[in-house]
């Protein structure tokens, strides 16, 4: 009889399952019907295909899996699986009973803001959108511009910026259009369940990638983000971030304080933060790994496999990191972007991918596809991840590859189509 531990894994991608399989544990995978891959059907010891975002659906399947196979831990490393995994762990008595509470307020931006205010941490002005009049009232109180965002979606979907009182009719129309529906591209697993208004936070944006071990937070990396004021698309990431030591300490200290205040005790986290004129201010945070190739950037620059830690730590199969690692190089991701129009030809991707200093290169369009104006991360055409000895060199290399070596010919859109704002 095998003594291997059993993990109930909620959702995720192939790389998550690979790390659990490497540990020699039994994996019972509950996967969404839209996300099952050929690898997962082979690698999982047990595969249950259900919509795990629906509690009344996933609970009986999880309870049956526990009764038949036994479950030592319930884990998810993917955004839509975080709440059901933590809720099941609490239900089965495998946690301290508070994981779902913590996960909910990490995913729900309004709960997060309220909790931080109660803890005495700095927060911007924030309020829920209730009706058209609430936009006017918030603008008068917080000033312009201000930001509107869905309470619990991802990848910049549905983010809006209200420039002034004259802009509120447009913003309100878009809120009404999106609210109550599903995200309409990329991942359709998120429901837009209300909008939050927040005062605008100035300053450069970063993300802090951390691992927590029984309440002790270890910052693995600070990621520099390339953004633009005209939209909410993340155009690229660079690790390590180009920061002075004092600024790095301010950011990491603010994130460690934030995670403690939020009740995060174990596992990976990805916290988006701005170094504003008022000091570091957390934009939002996630009790999961960073997306957008950030885990690959971190591993290339620091030699730390955050996915492996996320898999092994809850099973008690790894030692905690003793301290923040030192960088051994740099890694950069840059998005592939082109002006709106119709793609006529694509070339150069395979040659870029074959370079020894490139970790990944992909393009999601082909001839005949439409290039949309940039609104969120799902409007990007692809990405390149490159490495070098230092961040400046990696940025220079990666930007040259996406602009010059990858060829995407586009027939321009009609003159009244908004131009690429980047």
**Token pair for residue 328?**
């051994």
The model's pTM: 0.90
Checking if the pLDDT of 190 tops 70, the result is no
pLDDT tens-digit series, residues 73-100: 999 999 999 999 999 999 999 999 999 9
DSSP 300-317: HHH---HHHHHHHGGGT-
Contacts of residue 118, defined as CB under 8 A and 6 or more positions apart, other chains included, come to none
Q: Are strands 26-31 and 46-49 parallel, antiparallel or unpaired?
A: parallel
- Give all domains of the chain, ordered by start, each with its CATH number: 6-105 (3.40.50.20), 125-199 (3.30.1490.20), 202-328 (3.30.470.20), 330-422 (3.30.470.20)
pLDDT the model gives residue 23 = 97
What Å distances lie between residue 211 and 249, 292, 312, CA to CA? 17, 18, 12
SS3 155: coil
Average pLDDT taken over every residue of the chain: 92
pLDDT the model gives residue 419 = 47
pLDDT tens-digit series, residues 366-399: 999 999 988 778 889 999 999 999 999 999 999 9
**Shortest CA distance to 267 belongs to which of 289, 239, 251?**
289
Mean pLDDT of 299-326: 97
Residues 86 and 97: their CA atoms lie apart, in Å, by 9
Residues 306 and 333: their CA atoms lie apart, in Å, by 17
Checking if the pLDDT of 155 tops 90, the result is no
Residues 232 and 234: their CA atoms lie apart, in Å, by 6
10 Å Cβ neighbour count for 258? 25
pLDDT tens-digit series, residues 102-118: 999 999 999 999 999 99
What Å distances lie between residue 3 and 9, 24, 63, 70, CA to CA? 18, 10, 21, 11
Residues 52 and 81: their CA atoms lie apart, in Å, by 7
**Token pair for residue 76?**
């998810």
- Cis previous bond, 207, omega within 30: no
Checking if the pLDDT of 420 tops 70, the result is no
Sign of CA dihedral 194, 286, 284, 236: negative
| Contact call for residues 402 and 348 (beta carbons, < 8 A) | no
pLDDT the model gives residue 4 = 87
SS3 158: coil
pLDDT tens-digit series, residues 45-60: 999 999 999 999 999 9
Checking if the pLDDT of 323 tops 50, the result is yes
């Amino acid at each position: 009889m095998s003594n291997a531990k059993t993990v109930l894994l909620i959702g995720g991608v192939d790389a998550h399952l690979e790390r659990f399989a490497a540990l020699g544990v039994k994996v019972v995978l509950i996967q969404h019907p839209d996300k099952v891959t050929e690898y997962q059907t082979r690698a999982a010891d047990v595969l249950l295909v259900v919509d795990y975002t629906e509690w009344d659906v996933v609970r009986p399947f999880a309870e049956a899996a526990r009764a038949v196979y036994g479950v030592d831990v319930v884990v998810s490393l993917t955004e839509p699986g975080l709440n059901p995994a933590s809720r099941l762990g609490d239900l089965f008595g495998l946690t301290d009973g508070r994981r779902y509470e913590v996960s909910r307020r990490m995913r729900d931006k309004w709960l997060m803001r309220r909790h931080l205010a109660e803890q005495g941490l700095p927060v911007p002005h924030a309020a829920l959108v209730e009706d058209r009049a609430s936009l006017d009232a918030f603008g008068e109180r917080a000033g312009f511009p201000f930001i509107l965002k869905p309470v619990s979606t991802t990848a910049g979907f549905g983010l809006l910026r209200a420039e002034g009182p004259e802009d509120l009719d447009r913003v309100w129309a878009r809120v009404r259009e999106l609210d109550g529906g599903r995200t309409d591209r990329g991942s359709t697993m998120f429901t837009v369940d209300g909008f939050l208004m927040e005062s605008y936070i100035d300053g450069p944006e970063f993300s802090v990638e951390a691992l927590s071990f029984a309440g002790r937070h270890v910052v693995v990396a600070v990621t520099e983000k390339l953004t633009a004021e005209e939209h909410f698309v993340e155009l690229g990431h660079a690790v390590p971030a180009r920061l002075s030591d004092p600024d790095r300490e301010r950011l990491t200290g603010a994130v460690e304080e934030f995670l403690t205040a939020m009740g995060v005790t174990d596992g990976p986290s990805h916290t988006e933060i701005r170094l504003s004129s008022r000091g570091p201010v957390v934009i939002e945070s996630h009790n999961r790994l960073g997306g957008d190739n950030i885990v690959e950037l971190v591993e290339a620059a620091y030699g730390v496999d955050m996915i492996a830690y996320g898999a092994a730590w809850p099973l008690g199969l790894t030692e905690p990191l003793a301290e923040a690692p030192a960088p051994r190089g740099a890694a950069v991701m840059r998005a592939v972007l082109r002006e709106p129009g119709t793609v006529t030809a694509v070339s150069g991707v395979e040659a870029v991918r074959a370079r020894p200093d490139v970790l990944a290169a992909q393009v999601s369009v082909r001839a005949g596809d439409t290039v949309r104006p940039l609104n969120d991360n799902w409007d990007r055409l692809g990405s390149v991840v490159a490495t070098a000895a230092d961040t400046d060199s990696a940025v220079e290399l990666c930007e040259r590859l996406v602009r010059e070596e990858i060829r995407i010919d586009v027939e321009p859109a009609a003159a009244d189509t908004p131009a690429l704002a980047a």
